[in-house]
Structure 1
Amino acid sequence: MSEGDQAGHLAQFVLNNLQYQQDWKDLKIHTHSTSDGSRLPQPLISGLPPRRLYLHPDDQIALLKTHNKADEPLPDVPEVEWVLATHITDKWTLRSFANVFDAMPASEKHSESRPKRLLLCIVHDDSTIVFYLMHDGIVKPRQN
């Protein structure tokens, strides 16, 4: 099996986990850039989680300023997330992660710029999946 086939099977495995175990919707595997049609360095999955995975600190501050009712929870509207499926034995460098970020398509919300984060999914031989939020660059800490 070629390396591309393995990456495709791994992406499908993670997609199935997101769909059937994590309740994600609108899942798609992307192998080519939506902007120029070039092949992505690694297949990416896009999808909608059941609830928001991450709130940027700037967005959190703005939301807290406009949310006046202390007894009500903050709105939890999910947004499309990008997912990179990898195997525990894959060798990654900062450059290879940067190549993935550089190849990511622009988001619908911010059409001029690509996403600044992705969900890194590391699959172990026993089918365990570990999820990490990975940011492109430095992100200031969240407010508690």
Structure 2
Amino acid sequence: MTAAGNQDVSAVEGAVRTNLVHLQGWRDVEVQREGFMWHGRLLRLLCGRRPASVAPPEGEASSDIEYILPVSLAQHSAEPVTIECLDRIFAELCGPDTSRILLAIVSDDGTIVFYFLHKGIHKPKKN
């Protein structure tokens, strides 16, 4: 990976971390050291503690660590998030009891959208 590519990864991780801490009220948000190369890009997770207003996955305590996968919308073609990629993320980068991660997609204008990605098939919530 080039130095510029590494800076792009750091910028995306930093934008997501800043958003989570200062706008979403998360605590203890850090970039994990471990990661792996996927289609020529370094993938690393952030981890942190979600605010009490966000419901934890079924069977998990509200203080558990949540994992966040930051990706850039501009990198979509070069860094596709596929089932194989997600399987590897859950197997290598998350804790053994992790049932979901938060996908953070950063657009060119700085907008960040978040989606929950569940490990395996997840039963929908009842309203």
TM-score > 0.5 by shorter chain: yes
Distance in 1 of aligned mates of 2:54 and 2:36? 24
CA deviations 1:49-80 (Å, max 9, x no partner) are 211533445x49xxxxxxxxxxxxxxx93432
TM-score (norm 2): 0.77
Match of 1:49 in 2: 50
Distance in 1 of aligned mates of 2:11 and 2:62? 30
CA distance change for structure 1 residues 77 and 125 in 2, over 3 Å: closer, same or farther? same
Match of 2:36 in 1: 40
Which residue among 65, 72, 87 is the counterpart of 2:72? 87
RMSD of Structure 2 on Structure 1 (CA) = 2.3
Distance in 1 of aligned mates of 2:56 and 2:94? 20
Larger Rg: 1
> Gaps spanning 5+ residues in structure 1: where?
33-38, 61-75, 107-112
Amino-acid identity (%)? 27
Contact 2:57 2:99 in 1 (8 A): no
> Gaps spanning 5+ residues in structure 2: where?
38-42
Instruction: Quote the offset at 1:9 in angstroms.
Output: 1.9
- SS of residue paired to 1:2: helix
The structure richer in strand per residue is: 2
Paired AA for residue 134 in structure 1 = L
TM-score (norm 1): 0.69
